[in-house]
Structures are given as C-alpha cells and as structure tokens.
Structure 1
Amino acid sequence: MARPLRPPTREPRVRIALIASARYPIRQPFPGGLEAHTWQLAHHLRARGHAVEVFGGPGSDPALDVRVLDTRPALSEHARGDSSMPPGHFMAEHHAYLGLMLDLARDRGYDVVHNNSLHYLPVAMAANLPAPVLTTLHTPPTPWLESAIALGTAGHFAAVSAHTADRWRSSVPSATVIHNGVDLDMWSPGPGGGVPVWSGRVVSEKGPEDAIHAARRSGSGLRLAGPLPDLRYFRERVEPLLGDGVEYVGHLDHAELARLVGSAAVAVISPCWDEPFGLVVAEALACGTPVAGYARGALPELLDEHTGVLAEPGDVAGLAAAITAASGLDRRRVRAHAERTCSLTAMVDGYERLYWDLAS
C-alpha cells in the first residue's frame, strides 16, 4: 500500500539536499523531463521558504546555485589502460555519486535528502546518511536500481505514477504516488487549431517515427520539437521523413514550447516503451491541447475520454484515427482536467508533506 499523505499544514521549513543528474545541466531548454522536474521543484520549494541545495551537472541554471558534482576521477594511466576500465561516462557518474554520498554521510546540515537521479549509488548508500533519503522512481525497474534496493537499506520511495509504482512493487512494496506537475501559469491555454505537435527527446523509445507516419495518414502534418541526444538516430531515421507538412522546429525553451503546444490542434504522444509518467502529457493538457497517443505506460492513467484518444501501442493507423478524433475534443475541459490532476502546486504539496513526515 502507498504511504498516506497528510493534509497540507503550516510547519517549519525543511533543509533539503536535492540530488539531480550528474551528466545533464538543469537549465532551459531542458535536456529532458527529469531536469525540468528538478528545476521546478527546487524553485517552488524555495519560494515556500524551504532551504534547498541542489547537486547536479555542470552548466546548470545559475539561479539554482547548483553544487556541481565532480565527474573527473583522478585515475592513473595504468588504471585507464586496464582491461576492466568501463566507458568514460559510467566511470564519471560512479565517481560523482560516490563522492557525493560520502560527503553527505558526514554532513548533518539536512533534514531530508531527495534523490531524483537515476543512479544506483544514492540508493545503495542511503543507510549511511544521517538524514532520511527519499528516492523518486522516475523510470521502470532497472537492474542497477533493483540490485541496490535488494540490499534492504534503500530508504523511502515515491513514484511518479500508479503505473510506475505497480512496476516496482516486487522490490518496493510501498511507494507514495505523486504525479509530476507543470506550472499552470507558464503552460497556459492556447488557441489550438494548428498543426499537431510532437515534443520530447528525439530518440527511438519516444516514437517520433510512428508519430510522423500517423500524421501523414491523417493528413494533418506535424511539428516536432525537442533535444537531439542521439544525432545519428535523428539523421538516419527521422530527418529523411521530414518535409511535406512535417518539420522539426528545434529544441525550444519552455515559453516557446508552450506557445507551440497551445497553438496545436492535438499533441501526438507515441511512446515505444512504457512511459513512467509523460511530462509532455501534462504540458499539453495545461495548454488545453487534447492528446492523441498510444495506450502505454502511464498515459491511460493521465487521460480520460474528454482529454485524449488512445490507440493500441504500435498501431499507426489507430494513432492516425486518434489524431482526427482528438482534434474535436473540448479544449476547456482539457485545461480543467489539468487543473484538477497535474498542477505543479499539487506536486509540490505532495513532496512537502513527505518531507515533513520524514523529517519529524
């Protein structure tokens, strides 16, 4: 069973260490939903008077005053030349989180450590810290994290959706479900009616190719926006499909992306994996833009018959029909659904309650 959340109440501020990605900067335009989540959470917790220190990657937003994680292990040439030397990025992240957790084990300046990274060491070393450790499960189960949790000393857990909590249930029987949220002022209702939009990291598991093929079948056209972490994939699989009403418009900051999503008749969301939450769903709903997508991961949990139309996973023809059907949904009801279910205020309320429970 999930931990029950107490009603919001006035309580003292909490001193929070917020662990983020060591690899990607926390700044706009965001590399992914995890970085956007961390940025929003840190800013809004501070606005409520909490003392938040963020540990993350270089190049992050100066306003966050991030303590940059050290990703440069001082390895000798002999060590680097050893046959067991792992890829450089693996060693860099291992070094960064090992150093951080050793530092936090000696630091009594925090009431709660909130781990938003996807790395195994903050979980494996949680019991060594003087403050309770809360880990948010942002992904489906991975072998590294399951191995760390199996040690039985991993602290406390939240999950970004009931779907994700269920996937982790064999190793994490109790996780508090706190949906990710978006700033409803920033992601404001748009006029709609324009070319459908697909947004997110342009990688195979997000399904941009399916979205393009479905948009072509429906005759709607498509605008794609997002970072290109795998440039080879983009050039070989996505770029050849562009043209004839389908265009890639770049990696946009939140304000630009909100205008684009708000102008679209439909947001196309076509995951080829079990999406743990899908921040792009919440962003679309907040803009009043209905969703046409695949019924995978948390998408059925986030939508109802008034806010989106879902096709069976991998059914491009069904997705094309969903684009047409979703364009007729009432944008006011879509926005109202976002206000009820995925506001940033509700998300921060949920974490604030957990912090108070853990720090007490």
Structure 2
Amino acid sequence: MSGAPLRIALLASSQHPIRQPFAGGLESHVWWLARALSAGGHRVTLFAGPGSDPALECAHLAVRPLEMSAAAQVDSSMPSTQFMAEHHAYLQLMLDLAGPLAGAFDVIHNHSLHYLPVAMADTVPTPILCTLHTPPTPWLESAIAVSRGQGAEFAAVSAHTAAAWAHVVGDIDVIPNGVDLAAWPVGAGGRRLIWFGRLVPEKGAHLAIIAARRAGYPLVLAGPISDTDYFVRSISPHLGSGVTYLGHLEQPALAEAIGGSAAALVTPVWDEPYGLVVAEALACGTPVAAFARGGIPEVLTADCGRLVPPDELGALVRAIPETVGLSRMAARARAEEHCSDRVMVDAYIDVYRRLTRAHRTGQSSRYPSSTA
C-alpha cells in the first residue's frame, strides 16, 4: 500500500449494518475491507445500514430515513416500502456526493447492489469503482446499459462473474474476495462436517443434510436464518440425529467451528458469484466438497477439495470420504496463495490509484477493450 493515504468512501447496503454477526457475505467482505484499509493508513468513510460496527474506525455517511406523506403511500403507483426506503437512501446519497460532499473523497468504492450509484455515477465529480458481487440483476443491468457505464469503473469477484456481466461492461478487472488469514486460523479438524452460510433455498443446506447422512457423518450448520419459511420447512424437521444448528455465529466462533470440522460442504443450487465460504474454510485448513457452480471452481483445487457436478447428490456423497482425507496444510496453503486479503486489498489500492490519476489528468480510466 505504498503512496499517500487515500480518502475512500465505501458504499454498502442501506438496509444491513456492517457488523457481526454478518447478514451475508457482502457485509462480511465490506467489514474486512474497511478494517484493512483503515489499518493501512487510509481514511475510510462507510455508507451502510444504521448500527454498523463503531470499532471499524470509519467515519459514517448517515442513511436518510424516508418520511412519506399519507397521500403518497396510498397512491396506486406506490411500490413496496423497502424499495422506496432504499431508493430514497441512495438518491440522497448520490445527490450529497455530487453536491455538498463533492471533493470530500479521492475515490468511491460501491459494493451496493442498488442501481442509483451506477445510474448517477456520472454526476459525481469523484472516481467510482463498482464491484460486481452478483450475477446480472434487472435494475443494475438496466442502469449500466442506459448510462453506458459512464463515470464508473467495474471489477468482478471472479472470472465467472466478469463473464456474466461482459455484455454490458466489457473486459473488467477480476479481484477475488480475500480473507484475513490471521482471523481464520488452522484448526485441528474433527469427525463432523460443517455447512455454513445464509439459510436460504439457493444455498442448499438441505442438500448438505442429505449428503452427510448418506455418507455417515454428523453435520453442524451455522448461519443466519434469512428465510424463515425455508428453515421451518426444509431444515428444522431434520435437526437431531447427527444434525445440529449452531446458530448465527460471530466470526471468531465461526472460525473455531470450521477449524474443528473434518470438511466443509458447499451445496449451492445457483451459480455462486465467488464462494466466500470456500475461502474461509480453506483458511481454517478445512478441505471442501462442493458443487462445481459459478466461481467456486476458481478457488477450489484437487489438493484441497473435491468438485462434483451440480445437484448430483450421489457424487457429493462419494466425494465426502475423499475430502475428509485431504491435507489440512494443503487447504491452508491454497488460501494463502489465492484467498489472502492482502492480495485483494493491494489490488484494490492499485485500481484506486489508477482511477485517481486518470481523474486528475482528465483521462478515461476505462479499458480500451470495454464495450460500455
């Protein structure tokens, strides 16, 4: 992180606070990135849901609440309350960044999934980097297509995600998410398996339960219950008899649970844009058996895990004993090589400095090969 300290604004969700236990992988990623940037001497300001972690040593941009008249609320065009609250929060944010906060930052790093930071990027006199954390979504794709990406630079968390967005952003940087290796220490392993993440249908915890039972291994689950109906219908009835839900753990407890497991199961039924849980498991020395979906094959190699065809439970069951027998040191070595937060942060700093140089000279920071 050589060079003068930068003034960096990080934009996250206006709904979810950036604090433990995390609502999801995106909130976790922003929390770790904010910590690393602050530790590197940079001045970080965070836009996120109320109640974000005060220990991050960041300044905060307040989320403006929406005060809507009774007449507007009953109008036939009124969308959901959450949609309007997010629209209002990001509209106010972008107007502030274009007005009273113009010049307050050297670079703005957008991690939100909202369309307005992209659609209004060209109104802000500060370079904006947008990290694409998800597959294309209708509102965000529309914002990029209409604005043609003007005023924003893009990066993706995996080559898979970059390819999914290429039709609207062209060729962009791929900067894999990193983890703080010191905070995810190698554990001694154990007899049981672990599945961790948001408990929602697309993450496939119910499939991990089936696979673990068929393979004859106990399983622990950890993560937020983000879909109560799914948990009640597909998870809760199967608890007991070797399947235990540990709850929504803060990071140190989660790292201990992962490190005390023989292997991690990663069973998405959608294409994971990156697969942060794979990186976290490997850092703890815990090999991974996973469906080969999305960006996961970019992280997992044969010496630290097993990839099986998507949705093929039989193949996953057969892969579990092989995965349990893999080297924990090889898993950690893969994390050090590919998943380090230091590599990620240095890559982002390089992009920040490229953007600020281009801004000072009035040149475009977009790659010539970009179609945006």
Cα offset, 1:31, TM superposition: 0.8
User: Alignment partner for residue 138 of structure 1, among 133, 139, 162?
Assistant: 133
CA distance in 1, matches of 2:179, 2:318: 28
Quick check: 1:247 aligned with 2:240? no
Equivalent residue, structure 1, for 2:50: 58
CA distance in 2, matches of 1:99, 1:320: 50
In structure 2, the gaps of 5 or more residues are: 358-372
CA distance in 2, matches of 1:230, 1:154: 36
Write out aligned runs for 1:252-331 (5 A): 252-331=249-328
Summarize deviations over 1:33-87 as a string: whole Å, max 9, x none.
1111101111111111111100110111012345254352221101000111111
Equivalent residue, structure 1, for 2:350: 353
Give secondary structure in 1 for the equivalent of 2:180: coil
CA distance in 1, matches of 2:52, 2:61: 8
Summarize deviations over 1:169-199 as a string: whole Å, max 9, x none.
1111121111101111110100012310000
Please say if residues 294 and 312 of structure 1, whose CA atoms lie closer than 8 Å, have aligned partners that are also in contact. Answer: yes
Give secondary structure in 1 for the equivalent of 2:14: coil
Summarize deviations over 1:118-155 as a string: whole Å, max 9, x none.
10000100000010110000000111111000121251
Going from structure 1 to structure 2, the CA distance change for 1:216 and 1:91 (only over 3 Å counts) comes to same
Please say if residues 148 and 154 of structure 1, whose CA atoms lie closer than 8 Å, have aligned partners that are also in contact. Answer: no
Counterpart of 1:35, as a letter, is E
CA distance in 2, matches of 1:66, 1:165: 31
CA distance in 1, matches of 2:75, 2:59: 34
Summarize deviations over 1:241-298 as a string: whole Å, max 9, x none.
2111011110001100000000100000001110001111000000010000100011
Equivalent residue, structure 2, for 1:343: 340
The alignment of Structure 1 onto Structure 2 pairs a total of residues equal to: 352
Quick check: 1:82 aligned with 2:75? yes
User: Alignment partner for residue 219 of structure 1, among 212, 216, 221?
Assistant: 216
In structure 1, the gaps of 5 or more residues are: 1-7
Quick check: 1:46 aligned with 2:41? no
Q: CA RMSD in A?
A: 1.1
CA distance in 2, matches of 1:296, 1:66: 37
Moved over 2 A (4+): 64-72
Equivalent residue, structure 1, for 2:360: none
CA distance in 1, matches of 2:59, 2:239: 38
Please say if residues 22 and 69 of structure 1, whose CA atoms lie closer than 8 Å, have aligned partners that are also in contact. Answer: no
Quick check: 1:98 aligned with 2:91? yes
Give secondary structure in 2 for the equivalent of 1:57: coil
Quick check: 1:186 aligned with 2:183? yes
Counterpart of 1:345, as a letter, is R
Counterpart of 2:87, as a letter, is H
Summarize deviations over 1:185-240 as a string: whole Å, max 9, x none.
11010001231000000000000011111111101121000001111211122111
CA distance in 2, matches of 1:313, 1:183: 29
Equivalent residue, structure 2, for 1:110: 105
Give secondary structure in 1 for the equivalent of 2:335: helix
How does the TM-score come out when normalised to structure 1? 0.96
Identity of paired residues, percent? 55
Counterpart of 2:131, as a letter, is T
Give secondary structure in 1 for the equivalent of 2:182: coil
Counterpart of 2:65, as a letter, is R
Give secondary structure in 2 for the equivalent of 1:310: strand
CA distance in 1, matches of 2:226, 2:64: 19
Please say if residues 71 and 93 of structure 1, whose CA atoms lie closer than 8 Å, have aligned partners that are also in contact. Answer: no
Going from structure 1 to structure 2, the CA distance change for 1:154 and 1:167 (only over 3 Å counts) comes to farther
User: Alignment partner for residue 20 of structure 1, among 4, 7, 12?
Assistant: 12
CA distance in 1, matches of 2:94, 2:175: 25
CA distance in 2, matches of 1:300, 1:313: 12
Give secondary structure in 2 for the equivalent of 1:258: helix
Please say if residues 124 and 154 of structure 1, whose CA atoms lie closer than 8 Å, have aligned partners that are also in contact. Answer: no
Counterpart of 1:32, as a letter, is G
Counterpart of 1:100, as a letter, is L
Equivalent residue, structure 2, for 1:232: 229
CA distance in 1, matches of 2:151, 2:233: 41
Give secondary structure in 2 for the equivalent of 1:113: strand
Counterpart of 1:147, as a letter, is S
Please say if residues 123 and 155 of structure 1, whose CA atoms lie closer than 8 Å, have aligned partners that are also in contact. Answer: yes
Give secondary structure in 2 for the equivalent of 1:171: helix
